[in-house]
């Protein structure tokens, strides 16, 4: 498994291209608690000419990271309770970003379950039944099947806003796994983004055909 961070050049592609390229890449976060990782399964693209983008109305304290250099994490707080993780995917001041909406959990199931607040007895039961594909898929969606859930499972907060994703330590994104661990999903599906107004106007949500690790059908 090549867990080296994607280079800065990857993040210069713009949100539309990068959102597609990020599918099947591996999101990793290492803390004192341990390592968690997952295969990116759902993304959305946001560009400054789009009224739904935080960067549409110009730079503010909240969205400043989006206006910064490529390859950094833009983390924001929303609905009074949740955080969302984006990757900045444009040159300084261009303010394009990709929202990471879901991953397929790879490493750190127990840690993610604990951070998500699952009861210990439930965690023990799930670890027992992990061999069953059905259980694993459902549990996976519970852990990281949505942008808010994913940040909770990864323990990402505003403290992580602005982190450099190309350092290969702490928080980073690696290329898709190759060989036996490679993803079986390849065909990219396009759909309306979630939770925004006029969602039908721009189809900039990206998933992989057949991939069960998504936030919504």
22, 147, 173, 208: which one contacts DNA (CB under 7 A)?
Answer: 147
Name the residue nearer to DNA (CB basis): 108 or 146.
146
SS (H, E, C) the chain: CCCCCCCHHHHHCCHHHHHHHCCCCEEEEEECCEEEEEEEEEEEEECCCCCCCCCCCCCCCCCHHHHCCCCEEEEEEECCCEEEEEEECCCCCCCCEEEEEEEEEEECHHHHHHHCCCCHHHHHHHHHCCCCHHHHHHHHHHHHCCHHHHHHHHCCCHHHCCCECCCCCCEEEECCCCHHHCCCCCCEEEECCCCCCCCCCCCCEEEECCCCCCCCC
Residues 155-194 binding DNA (CB under 7 A) are 193-194
Minimum distance from CB of 46 to DNA (Å)?
Answer: 4
Minimum distance from CB of 65 to DNA (Å)?
Answer: 10
Q: Is 77 in the site for DNA (CB under 7 A)?
A: yes
Name the residue nearer to DNA (CB basis): 44 or 166.
44
Residues 78-97 binding DNA (CB under 7 A) are 78-82, 84, 86, 97
Minimum distance from CB of 186 to DNA (Å)?
Answer: 24
Name the residue nearer to DNA (CB basis): 17 or 177.
17
Contact between 71 and 164 under an 8 Å Cβ cutoff? The reply is yes
37, 53, 166, 207: which one contacts DNA (CB under 7 A)?
Answer: 53
24, 37, 41, 63: which one contacts DNA (CB under 7 A)?
Answer: 63
Strand partners, 208: 188
Name the residue nearer to DNA (CB basis): 155 or 196.
196
Q: Which residues bind DNA (CB under 7 A)?
A: 44, 46, 52-55, 57, 60-63, 66, 74, 77-82, 84, 86, 97, 99, 116, 142, 146-150, 193-197, 215, 217
């Amino acid at each position: 498994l090549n867990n080296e961070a994607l280079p800065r050049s990857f993040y210069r592609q713009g949100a539309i291209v990068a959102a597609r390229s990020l599918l099947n890449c591996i999101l990793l976060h290492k803390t004192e608690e341990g390592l968690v990782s997952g295969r990116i399964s759902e993304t959305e693209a946001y560009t400054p000419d789009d009224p739904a983008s935080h960067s549409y109305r110009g730079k503010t304290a909240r969205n400043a990271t989006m206006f910064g250099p490529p390859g950094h994490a833009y983390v924001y707080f929303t609905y009074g309770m949740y955080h969302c993780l984006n990757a900045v995917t444009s040159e300084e001041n261009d303010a394009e970003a990709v929202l990471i909406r879901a991953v397929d959990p790879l490493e750190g199931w127990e840690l993610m379950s604990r951070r998500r607040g699952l009861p210990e007895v439930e965690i023990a039961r799930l670890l027992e039944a992990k061999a069953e594909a059905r259980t694993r898929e459902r549990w996976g969606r519970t852990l990281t099947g949505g942008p808010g859930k994913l940040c909770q499972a990864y323990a990402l907060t505003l403290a992580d806003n602005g982190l450099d994703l190309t350092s290969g330590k702490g928080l980073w994104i690696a290329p898709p796994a190759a060989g036996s661990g490679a993803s079986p999903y390849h065909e990219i599906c396009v759909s309306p983004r979630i939770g925004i107004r006029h969602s039908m106007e721009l189809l900039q949500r990206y998933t992989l055909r057949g991939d069960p690790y998504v936030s919504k059908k």
